[in-house]
Amino acid sequence: MKKPTPGTNKPLLALTLYTLAGAAAYSTAARAQSEDALPTVLVTARLRTEPLAQVPASMAVLNGETLAEERLDSLGDLDRRVANLQLGSLNGTPTLFMRGVGGGGRQVGFEPRTGVYVDGVFMNAPPMSDSLLLDLARVEVLRGPQGSLYGQNTDAGNLNLITREPGATRQLETLLRWDDRGEQHLAAAGDLPLREDTLALRSSVNLTRSRGVVRNSYDHERPDAVDEAGARTRLLWRIAPDLRADFSADASLHADDFPTGEARSNISGSGPANPASPYTVSLNSPQRNDLRNRGLGARLQWQLSEMQLEAITARRLSSRRWQVDLDYSTLDGMTLDYIDQYRRDSQELRLRSTQDDGALSWLVGVYTYQQQSDSSRATDAQSQANLLNPNLQDGDRLLVLPRLRQHSEALYGSLGYRFTSQLQLDAGLRWLQLRRALAFDQNATSGFQQLGFANLSDVHERNREHALLPDVALSWQLQPQLRAYLRYAQGSKSGGYNAEALVSPATAPNAFDTETVRSYEVGLKGWQWRQRLSADMAFFLADYSDYQVSQFQLQGSTVLPVMSNAGKLRSYGPELELRAQLAPGLSLQSSAAWLHAWYQDFRDGGGPGVDFSGNRAEYAPRWNLNNSLQYRRPWQWHQLAWLDAALTYSWRSGFYTQPSNLPPFAADSRSLLSARLGVADAAERFRLTAYADNLLDERYTETLNRGTLGTYYGRYGQPRSVGLQLQWRYD
């Protein structure tokens, strides 16, 4: 790992400030008379409401208030509070990593390893990887393979996003935020009862505009300026005391001109970038990164005598428009223009027991989906393309048109049996079948043909796969609040096709194989000390076979993205989730992990004869530490009644962004300290908060990649920002 760059070696100073602030708050709060106890955290990870301590799996939970107060607006922001979760970018495609595994390719139809559910509906498509968090009651993060409780199988973990239900009274909540970097954020949500106790509507909207921090020296614009918008509507109909229907509609869009990042080298990757200054680019060709997501969903819940029948149906539509200046310079060289579109229809039916006081609990479900993934991927040569390659002339074009159809059916179920008041066994099984059909065309003009790209038309490929995946957990109730567990689970990730540009002699996209994982986990849940300190601890080991990994490799004279199967990858380490009530009004939340994820067997990973075995997995930092120290006390001044303050500290060690582990793909450690100070009225209808993010102005790298022409590029994290947030509620 390379030495840290200036501006990144500040974790000791940040941690010192964090500790001193905590000690000062503790000294003040300890003089209070009352004793505060930790509240019980309730979750629905197993499709029933239960305390977090009863779930035999490693979990992290964030409520909606935390998301708003700490300005966690998108999936990528969650890594500041959840250990072993990180948003990375592989070959320009944003993707979630959990426990050091994640990733994916730019190939259409490639499903991420970490599943994202909103109210039970599977949301994953590449345009969803960093989507907005809209009007959430809480986020539940489940680590490890999940398959016997949810419709879609995932082999790294799940993010369950639970939105807020429509309320029984009229209410409007608004949030406004401004900062010195030019970000403006507006969020509003309202409840509207339509029929007393039976019909209610809730709608929410989010609007964000960011001025950006990156300067284009060519036209003096800010390419990373962002426009985002999102809206969600939810209609709840209580048809009868034992029957309810839930309908939802949502849409979101994201637009910026910064799809990849800043050049870290010259065009060929053989020398320094020009300009080499951070937060600076020099581009003459238009760039674009447009993401659009929308969907409809319906859920029906029917409570029978001692069981519940639930049906969920949904349609999701996602698209991405991706334009890139491939030479990362003012040269009229080459551009890339991708349009990816996804349509997914899913249906799920499940029946589960609802008798909480019995020894036996069970769930059975059936899940099916149909997905269409269409892409148009054009690479265009401009007037100076011959300076990059003498075979290319102005107007040469390579057009790749992959179209993928997938149909999947799954049966899944789980069974829980309590042998004694202390000993319980939970076992699950999943069977799935997937059918896949690919149509592929490639059109190359003469310049690209001389580089080895052939004209291919009407290429068709089909395959089918099956899997049978068990999981089992044994848990012991050691004390009223303390539970120990052992868990074993198998997971799989379907194979696919390298639906990218093909170089002769290839005549059809190569297939990559199904990936499988065996996961082992041991943990303690609900350990407490005097009802003031609670800790959940876990140690996991996951062995992946035929691990799917995407990277740029030299194909002829061109660097192209290639999806392949590494032989084996192993990931293991301890995880800790801690909550503490240090004194009346003073609380601490911490999420920490140590991780070792590496390729046990990855021969020919960088091409024939290039062995990546022993290399660290990408986006797998050894250490993760996320702390939030919060202080709240009564404070009377005019109409104000409450004062609250918080410090959050997030640190992660360095990591690699490509399995080659080459120095250009080594990202330094990150140490982020943020603070806020707020006041509120007695009923908390009004709240004003001043905040500072990245208080020490840490300069850190989020992503590092290599482009088609060999250019190394990356993206820096956001510099320090200071702002105000105003919230108010009308009842």
Per-residue pLDDT tens over the stretch 82-116: 999 988 776 667 788 999 998 666 677 677 788 88
Residues lower than pLDDT 50 in the chain: 1-9, 12, 14-35
CA distance 624 to 575: 9
Surface-to-core class of residue 582, CB atoms within 10 Å of its CB (0-12 exposed, 13-18 middle, 19+ buried): buried
pLDDT at residue 105, as a whole number: 60
User: In the block, which residue shows the tokens 């939810």?
Assistant: 234
Between vectors from CA 702 to CA 700 and to CA 707, what angle results, nearest 5°? 120
pLDDT at residue 566, as a whole number: 84
Tell me the CA end-to-end span of the chain in Å, nearest whole number: 55
pLDDT at residue 134, as a whole number: 83
Q: Among 489, 544, 468, 705, which residue's Cα sits nearest to residue 102?
A: 544
Q: What is this structure's pTM?
A: 0.90
Backbone φ and ψ for 365, nearest 5 degrees, come out as: -150, 160
Type of residue at 450 = Q
CA distance 320 to 342: 9
Tokens of 705: 């990649």
Task: Please report, for residues 199, 267, 394, the alpha-carbon distance to residue 387 in angstroms, rounded to integers and kept in the order given.
Answer: 66, 11, 11
CA distance 143 to 55: 12
Per-residue pLDDT tens over the stretch 555-611: 665 666 677 788 899 999 999 999 999 999 999 999 999 999 999 999 888 777 889
> What is the secondary structure of 92-132 as a DSSP string?
TEEEEEETTB----SSTT---SEEEEETTEE--SGGGTT-B
Bridge partners of residue 729, in order along the sequence: 173
Find out whether 707 and 262 touch, Cβ atoms under 8 Å.
Answer: no
Q: Among 341, 342, 346, which residue's Cα sits nearest to residue 314?
A: 346
Between vectors from CA 302 to CA 296 and to CA 306, what angle results, nearest 5°? 145
CA distance 659 to 568: 13
Structural domains of the chain, with CATH: 11-730 (2.40.170.20)
